[in-house]
Amino acid sequence: MFYSDTLGLPRTDPKKWKLITNELGQGYWYYDVYNQYPEQTPFVKHHLSTEDIDDELPSSSYDFKRKSNDLDEALNKGASFFTHILQDDNSGTFPCQYKGPMFMTIGYIVSMYVSKTEIPEHIRVELIRYIVNTAHPVDGGWGLHSVDKSTCLGTSINYVCLRLLGMDKNHEVCTRAREKLHKLGGAIGAPHWGKIYLALLNLYDWDGVNPAPPELWALPKSLPIHPGKWWVHTRAIYLAVGYLSASRYQCELDPLLKEIRSEIYTKSYEDIDFSKNRNTVCGVDLYYPHSKTLNFCNYLMVFYGKYLRPNWLLKAANNYTYSIIKKELVNTSNLTIAPVSFAFTCIVVMLEEGKDSKTFKDLIDGFKYYLFHGEQGMCVMGTDGVQVWDCAFFVQIFIMTDLALDPLYMPYVSKAYEFLCRSQFDTECEEGSFRDSRKGGWPFSTKPQGYTVSDCTAEAMKAIIMVKQLNQYKHIHHLLDSKRLNDSVDVLLSLQNTGSFEYGSFSTYEPIKAPLFLESLNPAEVFGNIMVEYPYVECTDSSVLGLSYFKDNFDYKRDIISKRLKIALDYIRKAQHPNGSWYGCWGVCFTYAGMFALEALATEGEYYDNSEVVKRGCDFLVSKQREDGGWSESMKSSELHTYVESERSLVVQTSWAIIGLILAKYPDQDLIKKGCDFIISRQQENGSWNFEDIEGVFNHSCAIEYPSYRYLFTIKALGLYKKNIL
């Protein structure tokens, strides 16, 4: 069944993999040995390079009432490629491998290992390939994300993954990685989450892991440090980690784990005093060092856990934690919010209900929605996909560029619209699960995942309104009535920060609920801004776009929306840096935020020639254009909070800059044309654009890929150029 790839590693047969998706956009990979499913879709053929699909690409004969030129051709070829290759028929979404972070796959491996659940052979082989293929080419280690330097977190956990997956310690890949790990001081300096994974595997002592007491959940709800006020991700992760660390759960020590203990440290395991290493973090990993306050709190919590906590209280706290976990499993159709919390939750469920329980088995089965296969192998993704987010942009961009009127693309736009209609939340969360109202909102990935995001709601709502304005789509307008759009507006308004924190702005999943200085309790060491919600300029921009589009077309709450738009725009203006840029938190970086901010300001009538803010925003972008007409911002900008260029210009960043400039009505059209020419020059013969560099980021330090961006934003830039300038 298996053969070897170039590195001599076993690999599965790419022709046998099928991607199965349901109508809510959830997808999983199936190794179809007996050919039970129809042949591979164009997406799979392209994604795994099993077949050349260039001959299948349809071309448009639609008359755009303009003479065909290079631009038309580039646009049509790009649109044809994107829709044909990436569209998935069942769901109407664009599947992709949402990869980059190198600390997700371990969660799957640990959950399987501690519960002694066997990993199917075809998955095991591909997980190994992914880890091997992403090793640092120079030193053989791994970083926090796929384009990072090697760090102690990345190297220790991925080394452990390979060993648990069955790679021999004398395999060249392991030898190199171990050497690197030892140079980094060994696994003793792994940051908090690394220590937690290792402790669960009995490879680290809980005495060396800073505590996360579950009792915090029992504090009065009004206190600012109550976990219910933390950022939803941190909340979900520490909910499960609180239970695990207070129970000090470790799996049984077996011969393999004993061997690994002797491999990952620079001295013998028995000689390590773990309690002295709670705060030991390898220098290269450290992005957000502990504050003195955190160290003091940790000291108190350790003392409390060791000498003061009665057993009955621990039990009661864990019971309460588990009741919240159960509610969250209902809220998220057993997915929890994302893969890190998911893995920790799996282990808690195993401890509470046993590995033979239905709840546990269902959960383990759910890992399939986080696992995604690709040419480099299989990995756990950052979320269960990018479905709603990509579809919302796709619909908007195809309408904005008139491509949605082309009969060739109409079926795709319809399907994506139908998917968005199906994906709106129509129920509320369980009582007592510390969740806000979600009815009317949209998630980032899929409805089953269960979490409303501000900008995803705004972009999806805007896409739906745009379809509803086109007569050509009349037959599907009824799928979402205006009452449901009103619900979206209500959710969106409820997400705006209107209290004393960052007035007028929007955050991600909830409004800010606790003072921002709580960040000084951030225990994760490798990320910034994880403790509470923060104001985000991109989320604010998208929300402005959604609300202003709604206000222009409907009467519901018009006055309130106008007032809210005003304070949101004030926030956007205030968030601009003195050099005219905006710092972007979810894409790379100033270019990404610049595009969103300029688009939001333009919707409310602010352009280059009538607004000082817009003028400065444009001037900043223009100052970064390169000789070849492109932009080249690197992920380093996000880490360092200052504009850093990569070696060569990049198609996605160039598209973002061009979109911002066109929408801001920047007067120098030659400059814009140069950017568009650059985008076209990088297009391949078949209409595609190649992957060039990682596009997204989170928590200031971790890069993540958005594979659809190189189609969506190029098409938008070229389409806007054609419409507004030519």
In this structure, the strands spanning 27-31 and 17-21 are antiparallel
Does residue 539 touch ligand LAN according to CB under 6 A? yes
Residue whose CB is less far from ligand LAN, 207 or 519? 519
CA 509 to chain CA centroid, Å, is 13
Strand-pair partners of 371: 380
In whole angstroms, give the CA distance from residue 657 to residue 673. Answer: 12
Amino acid (one-letter) located at 77 = K
Of 338, 413, 561, 718, the one binding ligand LAN by CB under 6 A: 338
State which of positions 476-515 bind ligand LAN (CB under 6 A): 508
The number of helix segments (H) and strand segments (E) in the chain equals: 25, 10
Q: CB of residue 455 vs ligand LAN: minimum separation in angstroms?
A: 5
State which of positions 389-408 bind ligand LAN (CB under 6 A): 389
| Residues across the chain | 726
- Region from 318-326, 588-596, 698-706, 707-715 binding ligand LAN, contact rule CB under 6 A: 698-706
Residue whose CB is less far from ligand LAN, 586 or 713? 586
Of all helices (H) and strands (E), which one includes residue 372? Answer: strand 371-374
**Site track for ligand LAN across 231-260, x = CB under 6 A:** --x---x-----------------------
Dihedral angle, C-alpha 456, 632, 378, 265, nearest 10 °: -110
In whole angstroms, give the CA distance from residue 599 to residue 609. Answer: 15
List Cα–Cα distances, 685 to 54, 80, 332, in angstroms: 9, 12, 43
Q: CB of residue 386 vs ligand LAN: minimum separation in angstroms?
A: 7
Of 699, 711, 720, 721, the one binding ligand LAN by CB under 6 A: 699
At a CB cut-off of 8 Å and minimum separation 6, what does 169 contact? 163, 175, 178, 259, 263
**Structure token pair of residue 495:** 């997400």
Number of C-beta neighbours around residue 63 at 10 A: 8
Residue whose CB is less far from ligand LAN, 143 or 382? 382
Does residue 540 touch ligand LAN according to CB under 6 A? no
**Structure token pair of residue 18:** 């099928």
Q: CB of residue 593 vs ligand LAN: minimum separation in angstroms?
A: 10
In this structure, the strands spanning 377-380 and 371-374 are antiparallel
- Region from 21-29, 426-434, 645-653, 697-705 binding ligand LAN, contact rule CB under 6 A: 697-705
Write down the catalytic residue from 455, 487, 541, 693: 455
Q: Report how many residues bind ligand LAN under the rule CB under 6 A.
A: 20
Does residue 334 touch ligand LAN according to CB under 6 A? no
Phi/psi class of residue 699: alpha, beta or left (left: φ > 0; alpha: ψ in -120 to 50)? Answer: left
Closest CA to 509 of 437, 424, 594, 597: 437
Closest CA to 114 of 378, 360, 384, 380: 360
Does residue 369 touch ligand LAN according to CB under 6 A? no
Q: CB of residue 270 vs ligand LAN: minimum separation in angstroms?
A: 33
State which of positions 2-41 bind ligand LAN (CB under 6 A): none
- Region from 171-179, 382-390, 561-569, 629-637 binding ligand LAN, contact rule CB under 6 A: 382-390
State which of positions 418-437 bind ligand LAN (CB under 6 A): none
Of 40, 105, 158, 383, the one binding ligand LAN by CB under 6 A: 383
In whole angstroms, give the CA distance from residue 509 to residue 494. Answer: 11
In whole angstroms, give the CA distance from residue 308 to residue 255. Answer: 35
Q: CB of residue 101 vs ligand LAN: minimum separation in angstroms?
A: 7
Closest CA to 203 of 263, 271, 145, 286: 263
In this structure, the strands spanning 10-11 and 702-704 are unpaired
Does residue 543 touch ligand LAN according to CB under 6 A? no
Does residue 530 touch ligand LAN according to CB under 6 A? yes
Q: CB of residue 281 vs ligand LAN: minimum separation in angstroms?
A: 16
Q: CB of residue 592 vs ligand LAN: minimum separation in angstroms?
A: 9
Phi/psi class of residue 398: alpha, beta or left (left: φ > 0; alpha: ψ in -120 to 50)? Answer: alpha
* End-to-end CA gap in the chain: 55
Residue whose CB is less far from ligand LAN, 28 or 288? 288
CA 391 to chain CA centroid, Å, is 15
State which of positions 441-460 bind ligand LAN (CB under 6 A): 444, 453, 455-456
Does residue 651 touch ligand LAN according to CB under 6 A? no
| Helix (H/G/I), strand (E/B), else coil: 248 | coil
Does residue 340 touch ligand LAN according to CB under 6 A? yes
In whole angstroms, give the CA distance from residue 123 to residue 121. Answer: 5
Q: What are phi and psi of 596, to 5 degrees?
A: -60, -45
State which of positions 553-592 bind ligand LAN (CB under 6 A): 586
**Site track for ligand LAN across 192-231, x = CB under 6 A:** ----------------------------------------
Does residue 382 touch ligand LAN according to CB under 6 A? yes
- Region from 195-203, 554-562, 617-625, 696-704 binding ligand LAN, contact rule CB under 6 A: 696-704
Of 390, 538, 606, 705, the one binding ligand LAN by CB under 6 A: 538
Q: CB of residue 638 vs ligand LAN: minimum separation in angstroms?
A: 12
Residue whose CB is less far from ligand LAN, 206 or 709? 709
Q: CB of residue 383 vs ligand LAN: minimum separation in angstroms?
A: 5
Label each residue of 559-616 as H, E or C: HHHHHHHHHHHHHHHHHCCCCCCCCCCCECCHHHHHHHHHHHHHHCCCCCCCCHHHHH
Does residue 695 touch ligand LAN according to CB under 6 A? no
Of all helices (H) and strands (E), which one includes residue 621? Answer: helix 612-623
Residue whose CB is less far from ligand LAN, 277 or 508? 508
Of 322, 417, 473, 698, the one binding ligand LAN by CB under 6 A: 698
Name the residue with the smallest CB distance to ligand LAN.
698
Residue 455 is a catalytic residue: yes
The residues of the shown chain that bind ligand LAN, judged by CB under 6 A, are: 233, 237, 338, 340, 382-383, 389, 444, 453, 455-456, 508, 527, 530, 538-539, 586, 698-699, 704
Active centre residues (catalytic):
455
